[in-house]
Amino acid sequence: MAMINPCNLALTTVNTGSECDTAMLYTRQLWLMSDTIKWTSTDLLNFTAYLDTARHAAGSLRAYPIFGNNVPIKSITDSNEADVVETFEDGSKTLVRRGMYNRLYLTDKGGLILAQKLFAINRHLGFIEVDADNKVAMMTNSDGTFSPFPVNQVYAPLPDLANLKTTYHNKLSIDFSSEFYIKRGKILQGDSTEDILSMKGLLDSAVTVGATPSTTTHIFIGAQTNYALTDLVNLYTGTGAGKIGQIANFIVKKVSDGSVVTPSAVAITSGQVDLTGTYSSGASYTVEFAAPSVLKTNGLEGYEGTIKATIAIP
């Protein structure tokens, strides 16, 4: 399992002979992440797994997949800046600097929720690009590592609202340097084991108050995605590996002092998660999902808990 290098290219090209025509096809997916992140050739042995871990990472280490199989790009518009060339009085010219690339991506998927997420993107990011042939473009570093291309600006223009002739469209605009993309770019071909395009961003999810009243020995909770309200207890019902009924999937805290209370057992009862433990009468407790990386390890891949439930013990 690996990313395969289709061309053995030197960082500095001297001779103009070519025996490889590899170039990126049209973009199918972008991954946005901090431009300080680096990975090694070892990580390329299973780059899908590396990115899967990165999308579940915390804070500045997280990678965010945009578009892909689930939200396909429907159009790409280039508005590149022209190279800056100085013309002298004698008619001779000097290249001052290369122009910036500007690309506008459009999709008719994702709706208002995706627009809200794109609007919140931090402009100080980098990107890697995945094309229609599962090739990946990334930047090479002098220490032998790889990293995303730095971005000058990335933002979401106003969506196109639906009218009587067109549907609703979400957009993403990205400006980046041709110096980085061309001079330090590397194109790697994914083999048959790589499946980057199928991955999508994490789904915001919530722990909810259970329908069954909680007691001093049992807290009952539900779990669902925030927007489509998919019942995660039903989807991952049961206990043990790959199921929602694992103690490590949840964090229980006493509201009064913030202390963590670890349940002694967990079960699925009447479509709810039943957290058995010792809880104080008259006290309130919060229950939230564990970190996305923990959920992934436990078989609940692709989720982040963003809303917690507050349980009052009678």
What is the tens place of the pLDDT at every residue in 32-60?
999 999 999 999 999 999 999 999 999 99
pLDDT, residue 19, reads 75
d(CA 75, CA 87): 36
- Structural domains for the chain: 3-7+23-198 (no CATH), 203-312 (2.60.40.1220)
d(CA 222, CA 210): 5
CB 64 within 8 A of CB 33: yes
**What is the average per-residue pLDDT within 212-221?**
97
Main-chain phi, psi angles of 283, to 5 degrees:
-95, 160
CB 275 within 8 A of CB 252: yes
Better-predicted residue by pLDDT, 61 or 12:
61
303 confidence band (pLDDT: 50, 70, 90): very high
CB 47 within 8 A of CB 3: yes
pLDDT, residue 132, reads 93
CB 103 within 8 A of CB 76: yes
124 confidence band (pLDDT: 50, 70, 90): confident
Map tokens 């289709």 to a residue.
6
* Residue (of 258, 251, 259) closest to 309 by Cα position: 251
d(CA 278, CA 291): 24
Q: What percent of the chain has pLDDT over 90?
A: 90
pLDDT 10s digits, 226-249:
999 999 999 999 999 999 999 999
Which parts of the chain fold into alpha helices (H)? Answer: 47-55, 111-119, 178-183, 232-235, 292-297
